[in-house]
Amino acid sequence: MTWTLQNDFVNNETVADNGNRFLIGNGYMGIRGTLEEHGKEQLAAVNLAGIFDKVGDGWREPLNAPNPLHTVLSVGGETLALPEKQPISHTQGLDYRHGIFFRKTTWAVGGGEVTVDSQRIAHMGRYHLILHRYRVTASAPMRLEITADIEDDIWELHGPHYSETAYEIQDNTILCSAKVQNGKDRVAVGRSCTLEGAEASYAERAKGLCFQVNLEAGKCVTLVSISAVCTTADSCSPEEKVVELLQEADYDTLFASHKDAWEKIWEAGEVELEGDDLARDTLNYSLYHLNSIAPRHADNLSIPARGLSGQTYKGAVFWDSEMFILDYFLFTQPEVARSMVRYRIDTLPGALEKAKQYGWQGAFYAWESQEGGFDGCSDYNVTDVFTGRPMRTFFKDKQVHISSAVARAIMQYVLVTGDKKLLAQGGARTVLECARFYYSLLVGYASSDRWEIHDVIGPDEYHERVNNNAYTNRMALATIRWALDGAKLLRESDPKAYKNFCAQTGAEELLPKLKKAAEKLYVPVPNEKGVIEQFDGYFSLEDADLAEVRGRLLDAKEYWGGAYGVASQTQVIKQADVVTMLEFFHNDYSVETLKANWDYYAPRTEHGSSLSACMYALLSCRCGDAKDAYPFFMKSAQADWLGGGKQWAGLVYIGGTHPAAAGGAWKVLAQGFGGLEVENGVPVVKPCLPEGWKKVTLKCCVHGKWYRLELTQEKGKIEEL
């Protein structure tokens, strides 16, 4: 396989997509796959993880750093920039084996040809560093001017986040310190430039350096930049740290160690697949995206819904992380999974606080979790295209299933890694507080003996404020059971910690209540046709054809959901909902039931979310039907490979990469086609491969031991390494 994705043209229509498709990153930062000459109009950005700012009434969102890749070439006063100056040839792309962005562009200019040939990496291991090599070759003698700076006029959705930027230039090093308008934070960026291969004079500019070079015919000149990014979230003196990092940096050594680091990642994380090159390539490309945003530099960070591809969705962590992304890391890089899970445990105080604000008990996790568990979600998350008014949405206050995702992540972590210590380290408490939250939501009619959950939004966000959403109720029930299990495991494995846990949580009073709740909590059951109603009254809604509903749109950007959206009063749903529930609890249902629900909901699902396809694929596999699963699997695996995708929710921009689809693609591969589960502390598989697939090989780590899984049409083979 080539491990390369590339694109041979650039125009205003593709530039945003390319920014996502050719993204590089190392978990600390994500650098969009735009070109050196690009600025904010082309959505160029160095997105930072875990540091946020809020300007006025705008949304709270992560910071983009001033851009140290900004480099502009001009020849005889003419700027060579895409797409304005049309090239003779152009290619840009990504070596996704090693996280290397590259471009090569040739322009006709000054009576000859000039070629820019560049590459860059966000170093895997030295997370603050960016390496950038920019080589210019000329076919005729030419006078070049290369401007290398740190651009502070950057793309921001709800900025401006910087109130002031200060520049300092020392020899060939540009230093930029940007003050965040919150008065608390700073972002420091340094860029050390070396020009190789030709004599040059240089001049200082406001934001950087300008090199003047007289290049001979057939010769090249190379601008080598090593840049560093630090923030007050990393260091109390980020400017000094940047200088320090740049001093000891050596391009070639760093480049080699970067590639080694990626090779190590693939050693465990690659999926080999014989018989379907496109599936193999797109899947590994998806895994590249996951790896390039995995929070390896921290021990309690998670992955935002749009990765590090922009400020979209406020850089926040959604249920995507636990329900779609986590499993890949759990099985292949448990230390990353641990960081993701610890993020949730460590942000428990934010979840307790949120529950209290709404009058509930226990832990109500943020729908859009930022640092400290702060909920970045607004009460007005969609803009009405007809009136321009913000629409009251209920993602934040009613999408209560988020806490169950957290509980699942903790218990899944314990199940796969066997690491019960996490339970004593806050894990059991967190699960218990999630269960306490659901307990506080339970209502019962005076005239009935069962308990229900009312007024929620399920995964299908188009239907607001519904009662007894099957997914939510089932996950709440699971959470209550996990809390009971977690407490039991803790009591058995660490009696002393259990005592503390009880003292801290009042578990001894709560656990019997949870036992009762587990008996009384109503979960919708299949009807006579085997279909589970998504929520009370769903079957009474208009059973309109999806295409017809789409045809009712008056504006392509209008929101399908909310009170009056085209889908709201119909059975058309945004994404897998009952299907997601059945996938996670497939062992509780007959194959007939799984199939009946798949058949019912598939034609009614818009797949308006990239989370949807993988759940349909997984459930198909549970029904033994790899053929039905395959197109949904490919949709997930290609979510970023192909680009495109839904860019708007109302007037809100939601573009970027799709880590949940990537994680979902792996889940389909390993858990769907492979049937991977953990039983008694060891992996088991039960392959159900698509036609034409000869062999799938992947590795996984269960209870600290590594295994190689070989799956063929006939059987699955598990070898301990």
Interhelix angle 626-637/659-667, rounded to 10 degrees, is 150
Q: Is 248 a catalytic residue?
A: no
Q: Examine residue 439 and tell whether it contacts a copy of itself (CB under 8 A).
A: yes
Among 117, 455, 494, 599, binds a copy of itself (CB under 8 A): 455
Binding of a copy of itself by 261 (CB under 8 A): no
**Tokens standing for residue 653:** 């921009």
SS3 243: helix
Q: How far is the CB of 392 from a copy of itself (least distance, A)?
A: 6
- Buried residues in 54-68 as b, exposed as e (16+ CB within 10 A): bbeeebbbbbbbbbb
Question: Among candidates 304, 276, 256, 303, which has minimal Cα distance to 123?
Answer: 256
Place of tokens 């560049």: 118
- Binding mask 480-519 vs a copy of itself (x if CB under 8 A, - otherwise)? ---------------------------------x---x--
Q: Of 51, 345, 442, 669, which lies in the binding site for a copy of itself, with binding defined by CB under 8 A?
A: 442
Q: Does 564 contact a copy of itself by CB under 8 A?
A: yes
Q: Nearest Cα to 82, choosing from 120, 42, 46?
A: 42
If one asks whether residue 447 binds a copy of itself (CB under 8 A), the answer comes out as yes
Between 150 and 514, CB nearer to a copy of itself: 514
* Residue 486, CA distances (Å) to 221, 414, 427, 555 in order: 62, 9, 8, 49
Q: Does 363 bind a copy of itself (CB under 8 A)?
A: no
573 binds a copy of itself (CB under 8 A): no
Which of the following is catalytic: 239, 461, 533, 583? 461
Residue 361 as a binder of a copy of itself (CB under 8 A): the answer is: yes
Considering only residues 140 through 199, tell me which ones interact with a copy of itself, judged by CB under 8 A.
none
Q: Is 91 in the site for a copy of itself (CB under 8 A)?
A: no
Closer Cβ to a copy of itself, 220 or 553, answer by number: 553
Minimum distance from residue 427 beta carbon to a copy of itself (Å): 24
Find tokens 């999408």 and name the residue. Answer: 399
Candidates 454, 550, 586, 686; binder of a copy of itself (CB under 8 A) is 454
- State the residue for tokens 């590339």: 6
Does residue 451 bind a copy of itself (CB under 8 A)?
yes
Q: Is 384 in the site for a copy of itself (CB under 8 A)?
A: yes
Instruction: Using alpha carbons only, give the angle 236, 240, 242 rounded to the nearest 5 degrees.
Output: 105
Of 387, 449, 509, 547, the one binding a copy of itself (CB under 8 A) is: 387
* Contact flag: residue 556 with a copy of itself (CB under 8 A): no
- Residue count at the site for a copy of itself (CB under 8 A)? 29
By the rule CB under 8 A, 76 interacts with a copy of itself: no
Q: Is 346 in the site for a copy of itself (CB under 8 A)?
A: no
Beta bridge partner(s), residue 178: 165, 187
Concatenated DSSP letters of 49-100: EEEEE--TTSPPEEEEEPBTT-EEEEETTEEE-TTTS--SEEEEEEETTTTE
Q: How far is the CB of 601 from a copy of itself (least distance, A)?
A: 22
Q: Does 446 bind a copy of itself (CB under 8 A)?
A: yes
What is the distance between the alpha carbons of residues 245 and 242, in angstroms, rounded to a whole number?
Answer: 5
Measure the CA–CA gap between 202 and 171, rounded to whole angstroms: 10
The partner residues of 193 in beta bridges, in order of sequence, read 225
Distance CA(634)–CA(640), nearest Å, equals 11
Single out the segment in contact with a copy of itself by CB under 8 A; choices: 62-70, 104-112, 311-319, 450-458: 450-458
CA distance 657 to 610: 10
- Please identify every residue annotated as catalytic: 461
Binding site for a copy of itself (CB under 8 A): 361, 384, 386-387, 389, 391-392, 439-447, 451, 454-455, 465, 513, 517, 520, 554, 562-564, 568-569
